Amino acid sequence: MQYGYFDDKKKEYVITTPRTPLPWINYLGSEDFFSLISNTAGGYSFYRDAKLLRLTRYRYNNCPGDVGGRYYYIKNKDEVWNPGWQPVKTELDHYRCRHGLGYTVIEGEKSGISAALTCFVPLGEHCEVDRLALTNHTAKPQTLTLFSLVEFCLWNAVDDASNFQRNFSTGEVEVEGNSIYHKTEYRERRNHYAVYAVNKPVAGFDTDRESFCGAHNGFEAAEAVFEGKPRNSVASGWAPIGSHCLEVTLRPGESSSFIFVLGYAENLPEKKWSAPGVINKASAQRMLAKFQTDVQVEEALTALGTYWEDLLSKFRIGSEDEKLNRMVNIWNQYQCMVTFNMSRSASYYESGMGRGMGFRDSCQDLLGFVHLIPHRARQRILDIAATQFEDGSTYHQYQPLTKRGNTDVGSGFNDDPLWLIAATAAYLRETGDFGILQESVPFDNNTEKAQPLLEHLRRSFEYTATRKGAHGLPLIGRADWNDCLNLNCFSDQPGESFQTCSNFESGRAESVFIAGMFVKYGTEYAEICEHLGKTEESSRIRAQVQKMYDTVLDAGWDGEWFRRAYDAFDAPVGSRECDEGQIFIEPQGMCVMAGIGVKEGHAAKALQSVKDRLDTEYGIVLLQPAYTTYRLNLGEISSYPPGYKENAGIFCHSNPWVSCAEAVLGNGDRAFEIYRKICPAYLEEISEIHRTEPYVYSQMIAGKDAPRFGEAKNSWLTGTAAWNFVNVSQYILGIRPTFDGLCIDPCIPKTLSGFTVDRICRGVRYRITVDNSAGVQNGVRRLIADGIEVPYRIVPYAVHKKDCIITVIMG
């Protein structure tokens, strides 16, 4: 069942009913100010940090699940409705939501009155602009009363949701004409405030939630709206809101627009006040002045559209598969941008209150983003590296506002350091900017302990190389990529965090997955050293990588697949010796991507075992058989019911690793089959089962052991987006930058007759045509660049050129 359709020409997903299985959302903003918006106008806004500088309130785990947002109520005589249906839920005569790139348009119609709400965050501004256009389609003049509503968060989202004994006494606002200023805590330690304004004269306002709603009502039955009478309330303590009331008269066929702006402003400490107790509003007023007319709004929307058109031109495919085209050209890259901005910190599933920017997460997100805006990727690498400790280990996350690491979810995840090498190597291949390696970067944000970035990479490598267990495999520490495989936790108390408690620090548990990473990213580190002329260092690294390669084939091989780990008692995890959890997905993907066991035939066996034992119609499950009892020695992974999350759910993040691995072996049909099974555009017709948005990836899908097999959860902010773009662009389409040139080595289904790609890399647009009239899965018979045949499938980077024409003939 579908709840909408793709409009590829406009780069939109059009939702045709407000009753989607879950809120289907969009992200507004790509710099400092961000908003989340659902298809019913729900969501929240924040400046830079969703925990520390949140402008509007959102209630997580609520019932229903999407309450609070930017609401516009239209009162037409005794009838009250919203263009996005929520919160009043009056049945509409027409509804449509168009989620586009950085904007959303929600259209509703009732009793001859139509409303079109356009929401976006303008480039370079710290605000959300909402333009509401009302049109009278009846034959008579219509007089309407329009109410706006946002509910202000008291800045710190955690404190706002918990510290009621204080918060019910702190709310403060100022009202000046058609502008409402939220200034809670401005009188003391804050120098920032929020503004919510409209460009037309108002008939009244409200800033106190209880006055607006009534003591016993929610937003769906706000007394001021249904009575058509604003209270002109000024919040003092209690819960501050922003609501404008406007009287609107429309002649037959007439339209009128109203421009609402929700913004963030801050002042220098010495310029906080314009008069005693009156905030200095100059910066806010300058911002509001930019969005007073439809012309100004249209200009900002055009600039936003140009911005995204420019970005998405960096990689563009043309093929006979329209779903492949729309994912590669639009939605996958768009999601990569959002995950780069947010990491895992702010969504409808990650509240933005507990997690900051993940170290591992941000490194992986960069893999799918680096081609879009390389200079931002560069700065992100430096920010991430600055949270590393001197011994090479890292904080597991940091706050985007302060860029300082924190231990809210613990530390000692032993895969983290190697991801820094992965991210830096990807940046170097994309840009050739080896100067970044000489940038001075602090350890633990202490500038007195700064070292060149290259030294950070060396310590990342050495951290793993010097911490091995009894089998010669890397120690897992708190956990590796699978946060829920807690081999040193041994938690038996309800409520303990599996990520921070340590009741049994064995110092023995080992990870085959990290060993695969060590081989893959250790090799990339060696290549960096070779490029710098550090041949002795490179040889030393390669020797250690080879030793780990051999160790994996010895201690990490189970006969038909790669083992997952060894627990605190040296017992194998992910082995036929286990009664449950005999085979895991992660090492099969990572080890084969690293090339381990390819020439020995083990890689092919491992991937066949994945197909035989882990594959399902909705994707590859993380492990089998699922754990049916809690295992003290394994931790959180066995705490979930079978088929959910890490206990045999379909973890979409690790599915593309297996697709990449199949491409390494040249299996184009199988690589694409895996890609297609979790790709949202291919799942649109089963949205009643899948439930999350059909235009972005989700974190996981319930596995075959679950009662709700095929149901997705936790959409948007997942490493799935970056890894699937790496998979489809670099492994399946086979276009990947190397240190010395652009490698073109497709591994595609034999039914795909060919494709074209425009790929901008290092300032040159490579116009690539791939001819697969031979109907093969892999193999390049000829590669011609600007009329010259090129051996070895690598086109040297063009110098002093703007375009390079490449023809690839497979066979």
- The model carries a pTM of 0.97
> Residue 350 has what pLDDT?
84
Counts of helices then strands in the chain (DSSP H, E): 20, 45
Three state DSSP letters for 713-724: EEECCCCHHHHH
Q: Averaged over 780-785, what is the pLDDT?
A: 97
The contacts found for 486-494 with CB under 8 angstroms, 24 or more apart, are 486/634, 486/635, 486/636, 486/637, 487/565, 487/567, 487/568, 487/573, 487/633, 487/634, 487/635, 488/568, 489/635, 489/636, 490/568, 490/632, 490/633, 490/635, 491/632, 491/635, 492/632
Please say whether the beta carbons of 585 and 700 come within 8 A: no
pLDDT digit string (tens) for 495-552?
Answer: 999 988 888 888 999 999 999 999 999 999 999 999 999 999 999 999 999 999 999 9
Confidence grade of residue 800 (pLDDT, cut at 50, 70, 90): confident
List residues bridging with 778 in a β-sheet.
747
Residue percentage of the chain with pLDDT more than 90 = 93
Mean pLDDT of the chain: 96
* CA separation for the pair 696, 718 (Å, rounded): 10
- Comparing 268-272, 409-413, 654-658, 751-755, the range with the smallest average pLDDT is 409-413
What would the pLDDT profile of 285-319 be if each residue is shown by its tens digit? Answer: 999 999 999 999 999 999 999 999 999 999 999 99
Residue 675 has pLDDT above 80, yes or no: yes
Q: Using CA atoms, how far apart are residues 375 and 431, in angstroms rounded to an integer?
A: 9
Interhelix angle for 535-555 vs 512-531, to 10°? 160
- Strand ranges in 544-678 using DSSP code E only, listed in sequence order: 565-566, 572-573, 583-584, 615-616, 619-620, 623-624, 650-651
pLDDT at 60 over 90: no
**CA distance readout (Å), 377 to 73, 141, 362, 367, 373:** 42, 55, 10, 9, 7
Q: For the segment 101-143, what is each residue's pLDDT rounded down to a tens digit?
A: 999 999 999 999 999 999 999 999 999 999 999 999 999 999 9
Q: How many residues does the chain have?
A: 811
Q: Any catalytic annotation for residue 483?
A: yes
What pLDDT is recorded for position 209?
97
According to the model, what pLDDT value does residue 281 have? 98
Are 652 and 710 within 8 A, CB to CB? no
CB 132 within 8 A of CB 244: no
Inform me whether the pLDDT recorded for 259 exceeds 90: yes
Q: Please check the confidence at residue 62 and state whether its pLDDT lies above 90.
A: no
Residue-wise pLDDT for 147-185, tens only, equals 999 999 999 999 999 999 999 999 999 999 999 999 999
pLDDT tens by residue, 431-473: 999 999 999 999 999 999 999 999 999 999 999 999 999 999 9
Report pLDDT for 505: 81
Q: Nearest to residue 158, comparing CAs of 353, 383, 28?
A: 353
pLDDT the model gives residue 143: 98
Question: Which pLDDT does position 410 carry in this prediction?
Answer: 76
Instruction: Give me the mean pLDDT over the 67-83 stretch.
Output: 97
Distance (Å, whole) CA 620 – CA 615? 4
Query: 167 to each of 161, 239, 277, 351, 753, how far by Cα in Å?
Result: 9, 8, 20, 19, 63
Least confident of 14-18, 32-36, 56-60, 424-428: 56-60
Check pLDDT > 80 for residue 481. yes
Predicted local confidence at residue 405, as pLDDT: 84
- The pLDDT of residue 200: 98
For 566-609, write each residue's pLDDT tens digit.
Answer: 999 999 999 999 999 999 999 999 999 999 999 999 999 999 99
Please check the confidence at residue 629 and state whether its pLDDT lies above 90. yes
Least confident of 223-232, 347-356, 506-515: 347-356
Range 256-294 burial, b when 16+ CB lie within 10 A, else e: bbbbbbbbbbbbeeeebeeeeeebbbebbeebbebbeee
Please, what is the Cα angle at 594 between 588 and 595, to 5 degrees?
90
Confidence band, pLDDT 50/70/90 cuts, at residue 799: confident
Catalytic residue among 159, 483, 567, 745: 483
Are 25 and 38 in contact by the 8 Å Cβ rule? The answer is: yes
Q: Is pLDDT of 361 > 80?
A: yes
* Owner of token pair 């023995």: 508
Consecutive H or E run containing 335: helix 332-342
Which pLDDT score is estimated for 407? 79
